Amino acid sequence: MKTRHLGGSGLKISEIAYGNWLTHGSQVEEDAATACVRRALDEGITTFDTADAYANTAAETVLGEALKGERREGLEIFTKVYWPTGPGKHNDHGLSRKHIHESINGSLQRLQTDYVDLYQAHRYDHETPLEETMEAFADVVRQGKALYIGVSEWRAEEIRAAHALARELHIPLVSNQPQYSMLWRVIEAEVVPTSEELGIGQVVWSPIAQGVLTGKYLPGQAAPEGSRATDDKGGANMIKRWLQDDVLERVQQLKPIADEAGLTLAQLAVAWVLQNDNVSAAIIGASRPEQVSDNAKASGVVLEPATLTAIDDVVGPVVERDPAKTQSPSSRDF
């Protein structure tokens, strides 16, 4: 497993990270989730990403149990704050000072650790002054509860404003966590150039487009039983944007390209995002340990220029590139 620096910081993370968004505490039973975490560790993955809102805090609890007994110094644990947790009352979400401080304490307890390596703002909060949010994050860092600060799905101008405040407060804002894949490239026009300038790295989620880039969803056919597209706990809603025949047909056309590169389609997809120098890590998820092992083989793969061109020729017409697609809710009335 190769490592990369998290943005311009000195922190090294595994270039493939393990995330438990739609699996632990929700789609997958705890024993299976723990088996996936153990396999990730066996594959050399040291970076684990979660959030307080995943399965309404259950995902953090499952991850904390799965990592119990591991040498803490050998792990990089990331979590996030913003989306509703608990009963979802008026202060149970957002990026207010109150919610940030209560959330980090809850996350640390569930993760069974004294600190997280990276604490991330899960979305931009239009209802809280950015100064208040960044000052609260500064408190979290100075209290030793987080080593670095990041954001997720923030626009270029939001990242720039937060970075300026972080410099004033002397805290390390080092990362952004956006969706990024062969099919979803909205960060390339604005977010990536801004991040490169500021020393911010991307920790990207959904590199295989919720599983569509594995090739298991076929045009004109029902989704496989037990797949994410049949998950009524959130997975089906997230993947539906890709379940169009024109997209699925083009994914099937990627198969010869993957074969020629000696990769599975999933490995090709994960390797593709890692070709971007601004990407610090690609987050993978899994419901079975063998999926972790398959995706982990994308680490260190170098795709030839001709391969990258061939991929663009196939998926070009169905790629989403609009920078405006990166956006946060305008209010916290979820």
Q: Which residues are catalytic?
A: 54
Q: How big is the chain, counted in residues?
A: 334
Q: Which residues are CB-contacts of 191 (< 8 A; sequence separation ≥ 6)?
A: 154, 155, 156, 159, 176, 178, 202, 323, 326
From its phi and psi, is residue 251 left (phi > 0), alpha (psi between -120 and 50) or beta? alpha
What is the distance between the terminal CA atoms of the chain, rounded to a whole angstrom?
Answer: 39
Token pair for 268: 């090709």
Amino acid letter for position 6: L
Residue 44 CB coordination number (10 Å): 13
Closest residue by Cα to residue 235 from 55, 82, 62: 55
CA 119-124-129 angle, to 5 degrees, is 100
Amino acid letter for position 38: R
From its phi and psi, is residue 209 left (phi > 0), alpha (psi between -120 and 50) or beta? left
Three-state SS for 143-189 is CCCEEEEEECCCCHHHHHHHHHHHHHHCCCEEEECCECCCCECCCCC
Contact 66, 73 (CB under 8 A): no
